[in-house]
Structure 1
Amino acid sequence: MPNMNHPIVYAPERRIRGDIKVLSYDSVDLFASDQYSLRRRGWLTDAVVTFAAQFLRDELISDDKRNMVEVLAAAVTECIKFINPMEQAVQDIGLSSKRYNFFLVNDNMNPSMIGGGTHWSLLVYDPRRRGFVFLDSRPSVVDSTLQLLADNIAAAMGLEHLPIEMPPCPKMDINGDCGVYLIEFIKGIFKQLNEENFENPYIFEQLSQDDINRSRKYWFCKIAELGSKVSEIN
């Protein structure tokens, strides 16, 4: 376990003078720099991937099934990665082994900085399988960092060491698109769960570069649309 004598700090990429907030959604504040990360080949910020995952949950999962699904913000996943799972801060998250828990994972290895890293992937706790499913848009293996995160999550839910499956999934062609793939993975799984395909919701269509570019444009415009609605209300 990393030395946690120094405090965890939240250090997102929006350290830009004059950066303005464009939208608040659920637990996420999005700034202009977050929105701009959706431009072609941009590395998506933690705020964007968290917003997209939470928005998809609200849009794709019907009310009667929503209590089956939990989306953990990227910053929360980072805390679980680096903090002892028995610490009160982790226990207060309230992870349930009866839900599908979605963890937005980046490869940051600095326990004093949340919001770092250069690659996004998705870890899902599946209550039907009583184990984890790991989806990565680049070739990967279950390394010690991923195993530590999975073990911490399991311990926080009061479970022992759990298996990690790696089903086939689309792979990216351009570095920097990993966050968009993560969002597309979540969208596909949510659709399957809402259709009650609990046996195997990890079924994905192939994604072309045009699909990825369209997804970037969609989320850029969605943030602008929701932000303008909030401005009109206020």
Structure 2
Amino acid sequence: MALKASDKVLSYNDVVLRRSDLDILSGPYFLNDRVIEFYLSYLSSSFPSEDVLLVSPSIAFWIKECPDTASVKDFVEPLHLSRRKLIIFPINNNSDVNLAEGGTHWSLLAFERSTNVFVHHDSSSGMNKWDAKRVYNAVLPYTTTDASYIDYPDTPKQENGYDCGVYVLAIARVICNWYASGGSKDNVDLWFPSLKEQITPSAVSEMRDEVLRLVQDLMARK
């Protein structure tokens, strides 16, 4: 019997993927929250460390859109941001809390403690600049109060209107690999050289296929 779009195909950690998510990965489509959350959860399992935190899209969104500081505190305190050495936030430009799967663009905000800096990587020339800055301002009191913020101008740029989410996943992997290899001990250039070397349009296209194969492999093991 053919699967319906809403049928569950994989449960991984706390993430449930459905048939429609496989279709998104198979074609030239904008990645949704579930696919982003799945791969960030996979990276967390691949790089297990209390020092590293990859925040889920839903939590990053609520931090960005919380109407008051008390609500932000409720979301942020369980994350223990003050003791993390590397934190990655997926940033979406949706501003409507009543609209599920909203927004038109993904970017990535990373905090690196040894350099005390938040770095925003946007594959579409700063489209999410203000959204990332809102997350920075919201979490700053819970990480370190004097951390700086930069929009990294040389972030690799997408060549179409739908691969922004894949760029986020690819950049997150580069950053995690950099940290796991001891990059934070010689952090003059952070992960930027690796980003320039590894993130290309062809590599991003291949990564979309790679994530799909990963899902299919995990499905086959169930």
TM tier relative to shorter chain: 0.7 to 0.9
SS at match of 1:176: coil
Bigger Cα displacement from structure 2, 87-96 vs 104-113? 87-96
Deviations 1:99-149 (A, max 9, x none): 111111111011323421111100112211223110111111774433222
Instruction: Give the structure 2 partner of residue 124 of structure 1.
Output: 110
Bigger Cα displacement from structure 2, 211-220 vs 43-52? 211-220
**TM-score of the superposed pair, with normalisation by structure 2:** 0.85
Q: Is 2:27 the partner of 1:40? A: yes
Task: Please list every run of 5 or more consecutive structure 1 residues that lacks an aligned counterpart in the other structure.
Answer: 1-16
CA distance in 1, matches of 2:58, 2:169: 16
The residue type paired with residue 191 of structure 2 is P
Q: 1:108/1:161 Cα in 2 relative to 1: closer, same or farther (>3 Å)?
A: farther
C-alpha deviation, 1:166, in angstroms: 2.6
CA distance in 2, matches of 1:141, 1:116: 15
Matched positions, count: 210
RMSD: 2.2
SS at match of 1:113: coil
Identity %: 22
> Whose helix fraction is larger, Structure 1's or Structure 2's?
2
Which protein has greater RCO, CA pairs closer than 8 Å, 6+ apart?
1
Q: Does structure 2 conserve the Cα–Cα contact (< 8 Å) formed by 1:74 and 1:105?
A: yes
Q: 1:214/1:158 Cα in 2 relative to 1: closer, same or farther (>3 Å)?
A: closer
Instruction: Give the structure 2 partner of residue 9 of structure 1.
Output: none
**TM-score of the superposed pair, with normalisation by structure 1:** 0.81
Instruction: Give the structure 2 partner of residue 109 of structure 1.
Output: 95
Equivalent residue runs for 1:1-234 within 5 Å: 19-59=6-46, 61=47, 63=48, 66-83=49-66, 84-87=68-71, 89-99=74-84, 100-140=86-126, 143-155=129-141, 157=142, 159-160=144-145, 162-167=147-152, 168-198=154-184, 199=187, 200-202=190-192, 203-204=194-195, 205-230=197-222
C-alpha deviation, 1:69, in angstroms: 0.5
Q: Does structure 1 conserve the Cα–Cα contact (< 8 Å) formed by 2:156 and 2:200?
A: no
Deviations 1:146-174 (A, max 9, x none): 3222111113x164364212332211101
